[in-house]
A and B are shown apart, each in its own frame.
Chain A
Amino acid sequence: MPEMGRLPAGTMGLAFEEAIRRLELRNRLAALFERWGYLPAATPIVDFYDVYREWVNPQHVYRFTDREGDLVVLRSDATLFLARLLGLQLSEISQPLRLWYAEETISHIPSNHPVGDTGFQAGAEYIGLPQGEADWEVIILASEALECLGLQDYRIHLGSRALARVLIEAEGQTWSKDLIRDIHRLSGPCWENLSANLRHQFQCIGEPDQIAQQLGPFASCPEAAFLLQSCDILRSAGLGERLVIDLNEVGLLSYYTGLVFKIYVPGYHEAVVSGGRYDGLLKKFGIEAPSVGFSLQQGLIEVLHGSPEPQAPPAAASGTSWLERLANARRRRAKGERVVL
C-alpha cells in the first residue's frame, strides 16, 4: 500500500542524531529561560478555528472538523495558542508573568519553499508590564537564546508597529492587514498609494541618528522617541552595533502593537527570531494584560548547524551472565557512561 512508504506532504520526523540534537538544543533553551525566571507552558495542539479566525491566514493553517462537527485548527502560532490558554486558566494577572515554551507548530508552506510545514518554535512571553523594561528584557533574552544555541553572529532589526501606524495615519491612510503585507514586501496596491517620502521611510535601516533625520518632525513623537531610546538602552546593555533600527520591521502578524524585532543571521534566507509587543491580544481572550514576547525558529537553527555528528555507539557491559552485565552496566552508568547490556 503506497501510504506505508511516504508521509503527508510537508511533514517529517526526526530520528537518531537529529532527535538528540533537537532535545539538546531545547534543553539548553529551557535552562536559559529558567535561569531568567521564566516558567514553562505547554499549549494544546488542536483548538477551535473560530477563536483564531481574526489572526490566522486560512490558507496557511490546517483545519478540519472534529467528532462533534466543530471546525478545529492545528497549532500554527505558539503565541496565539498561549494567549488562549492563559485566557482559559486565569481570570486576571495580579503580577507580571514570565513564560516559555518549546513546541511543534504546523502550518501550510508552499511546496517550493525551503521550510517544511512542520516547525519547532521556542519562545518566551513577558505578560503584565507595559512597554519599557519588559520589551528590553525580552530582546536581550532572545539574543542570549541565540548565543546559547551557538549563534554568535547575528543582527537584531528593531522597528515599531506603533510608529508605523502614526506615520501612516498622519498621511490620511488607513492601517490594514493588506498594508502590513505590502510594507513587508515593498510592493502592492496599498504600497503604491503611499507617498514617495513614506515609501522611502519604510525602507530605512540604520543608526539612530540617521533614522531620526529620516523621520523629520516625527522623530520627537512618543512612538519614535521610545524606539530611539530602546536602541540606546539595548546597545548599552551589550548588543552594541548588533542592533539597528529598521523602519521596515512593522510586524507581519496583525496582533502586534508596539516595538517589534527580527533577528537575522548570515547565510540564512529567513529571520530566525521574531517578536514584539502585543498589548491587545490577551484582552480578546478575557484577560486585560499588556504583553511582549518572541519566538525562535529552532527548526531553522538546526538546519544552520548542518548535519549532526554521528554518535559513538554505547559501550557494552561486561560479565558472563545477564545479571553480571546488568550490575556492571549500573556501576558504569552511575559514573556517566552510556552502556548497553
Chain B
Amino acid sequence: MSRHLTLALSKGRLLDQVLAYASERGIDITFEDRKLIAHDPDGLLKLILVKNADLPTYLRYGIAGLGICGEDVLYEYGDELVRLLELPFGGTTMALAGRSDLQRPKWGPMTIATKFVRFTHDYFHERGVPVRLIKLDGSVELAPVLELAPYIVDLVETGSTLRAHGLRVIEELKKIKVHLVANRAYWKWHYRQIERLIVRLSSADA
C-alpha cells in the first residue's frame, strides 16, 4: 500500500487558503516554481495542482484519491464524490447578478450567462422559472456590460468585481462551502490514513 495519500488542489482562488490552513496544522506544502506536483516533508501527502474544473476528473479516474474544492465545482462536475469534511475557509456565494438598474423580471424567461450551467439550470428549473443559458468560461461579468446577456450567475465574494462593472447582486442563490472530497473506493481502501488526516485537518492550529 502506498505510504502517502494523493491530494489534488485547484490552482484557483482557494490555493493560498488551503496551504495556509494546512501549514497552521503542521502540514507544510511548497510547490516549487512552475511545478505541479509536491510532497509534504513528512511524506503524508503527495499533492497535485490541477485546474479547478478538472479536479473531479482526476479523482474519478483515481489519479488523485482526495481533493479540496468548492461545492460549485462538485455540483457541476463531481456530484458522485464523497464529501468527507467541510473546511472552515473559502466560503462564497453563488448569486444572480445584473446591471445595477435591473430587477428580476416578474414573468418571461431570463437570459443568463454563466460558467455554472448545470447549477443554474437546476436552480431555476426546480423553481419553475424559465431561463435561457449562455455558457461562458471566464470573465462572466463582461456579459451584461457587452449586452450578451442581462443577467449572470457567478460566485461572489466581496462584490467588488461586480461593482467595478456597474453590476450588483440581485439574489443570493446558494452559500458555497469548501470540502475535502474523495473518490469513494480510495476512501474505502485508505480509510485509516484518511481518518488520521481528517483528525489533523479538523484540529485547532498546531
Among residues 81 to 132 in chain B, which have CB atoms less than 8 Å away from a CB atom of chain A? 81-84
Contact with A205, one of B62, B81, B191 (Cβ below 8 angstroms): B191
User: When each residue 240-280 of chain A gets 1 if its CB lies under 8 Å from chain B and 0 otherwise, what string results?
Assistant: 00000010000000000000001011111111000000000
Asked whether, in the complex, the Cβ of B188 is within 8 Å of the Cβ of A267, the reply is no
Asked whether, in the complex, the Cβ of B185 is within 8 Å of the Cβ of A271, the reply is yes
B79 at the interface (CB under 8 A from A): yes
Q: List, in ascending order, chain B residues with CB within 8 A of A267's CB.
A: 62
Q: How far is the CA of A187 from the CA of B78 in the complex (A)?
A: 12
Contact with B188, one of A113, A155, A186 (Cβ below 8 angstroms): A155
Asked whether, in the complex, the Cβ of A186 is within 8 Å of the Cβ of B82, the reply is yes
Q: List, in ascending order, chain B residues with CB within 8 A of A262's CB.
A: 188
Asked whether, in the complex, the Cβ of A155 is within 8 Å of the Cβ of B57, the reply is no
Q: How far is the CA of A321 from the CA of B189 in the complex (A)?
A: 61
Interface size grouping (class) on chain B: 20 to 34
Nearest CB of B to A306, in Å:
15
Q: List, in ascending order, chain A residues with CB within 8 A of B185's CB.
A: 264, 268-271
Q: List, in ascending order, chain B residues with CB within 8 A of A205's CB.
A: 188, 191
Highest count of chain A CB atoms <10 Å: which of B80, B84, B185: B185
B183 at the interface (CB under 8 A from A): yes
Asked whether, in the complex, the Cβ of A185 is within 8 Å of the Cβ of B83, the reply is yes
Nearest CB of A to B205, in Å:
23
A112 at the interface (CB under 8 A from B): yes
Q: List, in ascending order, chain A residues with CB within 8 A of B83's CB.
A: 185-187
Among residues 170 to 206 in chain B, which have CB atoms less than 8 Å away from a CB atom of chain A? 179, 183-186, 188-189, 191
Asked whether, in the complex, the Cβ of A246 is within 8 Å of the Cβ of B62, the reply is no
Asked whether, in the complex, the Cβ of A112 is within 8 Å of the Cβ of B57, the reply is yes
A157 at the interface (CB under 8 A from B): yes
Q: List, in ascending order, chain B residues with CB within 8 A of A157's CB.
A: 188
Q: How far is the CA of A206 from the CA of B191 in the complex (A)?
A: 9
In this complex, what residue of B is CB-closest to A249? B188
Asked whether, in the complex, the Cβ of B62 is within 8 Å of the Cβ of A268, the reply is yes
B1 at the interface (CB under 8 A from A): yes
Highest count of chain A CB atoms <10 Å: which of B61, B79, B186, B189: B189
Q: How far is the CA of A287 from the CA of B150 in the complex (A)?
A: 60
Nearest CB of A to B62, in Å:
4
In this complex, what residue of B is CB-closest to A266? B189
Nearest CB of B to A106, in Å:
20
Q: How far is the CA of A78 from the CA of B81 in the complex (A)?
A: 25
Asked whether, in the complex, the Cβ of A112 is within 8 Å of the Cβ of B60, the reply is yes
In this complex, what residue of A is CB-closest to B189? A264
Interface size grouping (class) on chain A: 20 to 34
Highest count of chain B CB atoms <10 Å: which of A262, A266, A271: A266
User: When each residue 172-209 of chain A gets 1 if its CB lies under 8 Å from chain B and 0 otherwise, what string results?
Assistant: 00000000000011110000000000000001011000
Q: List, in ascending order, chain A residues with CB within 8 A of B61's CB.
A: 114, 269
Q: How far is the CA of A246 from the CA of B185 in the complex (A)?
A: 13
Q: How far is the CA of A267 from the CA of B190 in the complex (A)?
A: 11
Highest count of chain B CB atoms <10 Å: which of A114, A246, A264, A271: A264
Asked whether, in the complex, the Cβ of A155 is within 8 Å of the Cβ of B189, the reply is yes
Q: How far is the CA of A131 from the CA of B48 in the complex (A)?
A: 46
Q: How far is the CA of A316 from the CA of B182 in the complex (A)?
A: 54
Q: List, in ascending order, chain A residues with CB within 8 A of B81's CB.
A: 185
Q: How far is the CA of A205 from the CA of B81 in the complex (A)?
A: 18
Contact with A185, one of B77, B80, B188, B189 (Cβ below 8 angstroms): B80
Q: How far is the CA of A187 from the CA of B181 in the complex (A)?
A: 11
In this complex, what residue of B is CB-closest to A157? B188
Contact with A269, one of B77, B79, B84, B183 (Cβ below 8 angstroms): B183
Q: List, in ascending order, chain B residues with CB within 8 A of A187's CB.
A: 82-83, 179
Q: List, in ascending order, chain B residues with CB within 8 A of A113's CB.
A: 60
In this complex, what residue of A is CB-closest to B81? A185
Asked whether, in the complex, the Cβ of A269 is within 8 Å of the Cβ of B188, the reply is no
Q: How far is the CA of A114 from the CA of B184 in the complex (A)?
A: 14
Q: How far is the CA of A181 from the CA of B1 in the complex (A)?
A: 29
Q: How far is the CA of A246 from the CA of B189 in the complex (A)?
A: 12
Q: List, in ascending order, chain B residues with CB within 8 A of A186's CB.
A: 82-84
In this complex, what residue of A is CB-closest to B182? A186
User: When each residue 43-55 of chain A gets 1 if its CB lies under 8 Å from chain B and 0 otherwise, what string results?
Assistant: 0000000000000
In this complex, what residue of B is CB-closest to A155? B189
A-B contact pairs, 10 of them (CB 8 A): A112-B57, A155-B189, A185-B83, A187-B82, A266-B189, A268-B62, A269-B60, A270-B184, A270-B185, A271-B185
List residues of chain B with CB under 8 Å of any chain A CB.
1, 57, 59-62, 77, 79-84, 179, 183-186, 188-189, 191
A112-B77, A269-B59 given; 18 more Cβ-contact pairs under 8 Å:
A112-B57, A112-B60, A113-B60, A155-B189, A157-B188, A184-B82, A186-B83, A203-B84, A205-B188, A246-B188, A262-B188, A264-B185, A264-B188, A266-B1, A266-B189, A268-B62, A268-B185, A271-B185
Q: Which 4 A-B pairs have the closest CB atoms?
A: A269-B62, A187-B83, A205-B191, A264-B188
